[in-house]
């Protein structure tokens, strides 16, 4: 049994293998490879793309999905070991997770960050679910990472810009009304590191990603030949970028994010930013995105935007990833 919940579960070779297969299956669909398979989809948090693309990936290949929303129509789940369960959560994941394993062939789980990056990076709930599951677990985003998003990002760059090795990509922080998890920036960084890109991460001071993730990215980069640099100057960071990946994220709990976002509202990604510098940058974002807060309408509605094909590629990488999940390896 093999869980795939973090980019390190795939490594450099695995990322490459999943992308190659996903690309090949865009040309020649693989048929009913999930026939007789049921994916249990467990949501602790809301979803549109992930929900629809995972379910479609199963159905298109002859399989099925059962969707369970912990906050609506199911029991709230306790996650703390040793808890005296006299509150509003009548069921423990120590029961719920192994029970589901008796009904389905794999579990896809979404459990977002709580808001403290130093804690979120430990990804306790996802690790606990992995530990208790009787069937393979695949991530639909957890506190630390959103690996399917990272894989879809790489597939999109490969299709629209060419081979990933040495590709100049910039991940830029952008303003938002509230501090968001670091899972998506983490996954973009880790995926691009595994894929050998030349990566620049740009953000205002105080919004550094967690050390655990940065050092894991450096290890992947060493193996793949990727290069990673950091800037606090958005314009400079975007000057040579073939791809500008816009994404907001929050920092430490003692950071006044509202004040920081106000101060750096100029980091909103606009069409003029995409067209500044030496190359016109393609625009990426994982969605959902707040228009005219994170990105301007003129950027998102321009021909430079890859957000629609990027979202569509979720289906394609997940189909490829689920194949590994159901086949216990590669």
Give residues in contact with a second copy (CB under 8 A).
Answer: 36, 38, 40, 43, 46-49, 51-53, 55-56, 59-60, 64, 66-69, 71-75, 78, 82-86, 90-92, 94-96, 98-100, 102-104, 177, 287-293, 297, 300-301, 307-309, 311-312, 315
- For a second copy, the closer of residues 10 and 106 by Cβ is 106
Beta bridge partners of 295: 269, 291
Q: How far is the CB of 250 from a second copy (least distance, A)?
A: 15
- For a second copy, the closer of residues 104 and 193 by Cβ is 104
SS3 content of the chain, % helix, strand, coil (to 5): 40, 15, 40
Beta bridge partners of 200: 170, 229
Q: How far is the CB of 64 from a second copy (least distance, A)?
A: 5
Q: How far is the CB of 1 from a second copy (least distance, A)?
A: 16
- For a second copy, the closer of residues 152 and 221 by Cβ is 152
Instruction: Provide the CA 265 distance to its chain's centre, in angstroms.
Output: 24
Give the whole-angstrom CA distance, residue 218 versus residue 226.
8
Q: How far is the CB of 313 from a second copy (least distance, A)?
A: 8
Contact between 12 and 197 (Cβ < 8 Å): no
- For a second copy, the closer of residues 53 and 200 by Cβ is 53
Q: How far is the CB of 196 from a second copy (least distance, A)?
A: 27
Q: How far is the CB of 228 from a second copy (least distance, A)?
A: 29
Handedness of CA 241, 293, 308, 323 (dihedral sign): positive
Tell me 161's DSSP state.
H
Sheet arrangement for strand 168-173: 227-231, 198-202, 168-173, 243-247, 282-284
Burial of 181 (0-12, 13-18, 19+ CB in 10 A): buried
Contact between 41 and 51 (Cβ < 8 Å): yes
Q: How far is the CB of 327 from a second copy (least distance, A)?
A: 19
- For a second copy, the closer of residues 85 and 165 by Cβ is 85
Q: How far is the CB of 177 from a second copy (least distance, A)?
A: 5
Burial of 281 (0-12, 13-18, 19+ CB in 10 A): buried
Tell me 138's DSSP state.
E
Give the pair of three-digit tokens for residue 175.
């303003």
- For a second copy, the closer of residues 85 and 118 by Cβ is 85
The DSSP secondary structure of 61-106, one letter per residue, reads: TT-EEEEEETTTTS--EE-STT----SS--EEHHHHHHHHTTT-SE
Instruction: Provide the CA 22 distance to its chain's centre, in angstroms.
Output: 17
Give the whole-angstrom CA distance, residue 43 versus residue 140.
9
- For a second copy, the closer of residues 35 and 218 by Cβ is 35
Q: How far is the CB of 142 from a second copy (least distance, A)?
A: 18
- For a second copy, the closer of residues 192 and 307 by Cβ is 307
- For a second copy, the closer of residues 68 and 279 by Cβ is 68
């Amino acid at each position: 049994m093999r869980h795939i919940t973090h980019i390190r579960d795939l490594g450099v070779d695995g990322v490459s293998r999943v992308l190659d297969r996903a690309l090949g299956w865009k040309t020649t669909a693989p048929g009913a490879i999930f026939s007789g398979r049921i994916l249990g989809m467990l949501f602790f948090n809301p979803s549109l793309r992930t929900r629809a693309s995972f379910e479609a990936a199963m159905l298109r290949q002859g399989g099925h999905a059962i969707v369970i929303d912990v906050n609506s129509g199911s029991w709230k789940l306790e996650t703390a070991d040793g808890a005296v369960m006299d509150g509003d959560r009548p069921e423990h994941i120590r029961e719920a997770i192994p029970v589901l394993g008796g009904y389905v062939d794999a579990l896809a789980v979404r459990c977002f960050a709580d808001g403290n990056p130093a804690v979120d990076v430990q990804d306790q709930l996802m690790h606990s679910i992995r530990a208790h599951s009787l069937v393979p677990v695949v991530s639909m985003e957890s506190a630390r990472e959103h690996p399917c998003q990272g894989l879809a990002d790489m597939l999109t760059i490969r299709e629209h810009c060419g081979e990933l090795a040495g590709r100049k990509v910039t991940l830029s922080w952008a303003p938002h009304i509230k501090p968001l998890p670091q899972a998506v920036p983490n996954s973009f960084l880790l995926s691009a590191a595994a894929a050998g890109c030349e990566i620049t991460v740009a953000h205002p001071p105080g919004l550094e990603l967690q050390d655990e993730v940065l050092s894991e990215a450096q290890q992947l980069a060493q193996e793949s030949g990727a290069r990673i640099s950091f800037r606090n100057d958005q314009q400079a960071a975007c000057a040579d970028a073939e791809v500008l990946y816009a994404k907001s994220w929050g920092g430490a709990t003692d950071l006044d994010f509202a004040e920081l976002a106000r101060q750096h509202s100029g980091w909103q990604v606009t069409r003029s930013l995409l067209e500044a510098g030496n190359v016109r940058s393609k625009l990426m974002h994982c969605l959902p995105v707040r228009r005219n807060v994170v990105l301007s309408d003129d950027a998102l509605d321009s021909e430079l935007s890859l957000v629609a094909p990027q979202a569509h590629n979720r289906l394609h990488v997940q189909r490829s990833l689920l194949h590994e999940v159901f086949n216990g390896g590669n």
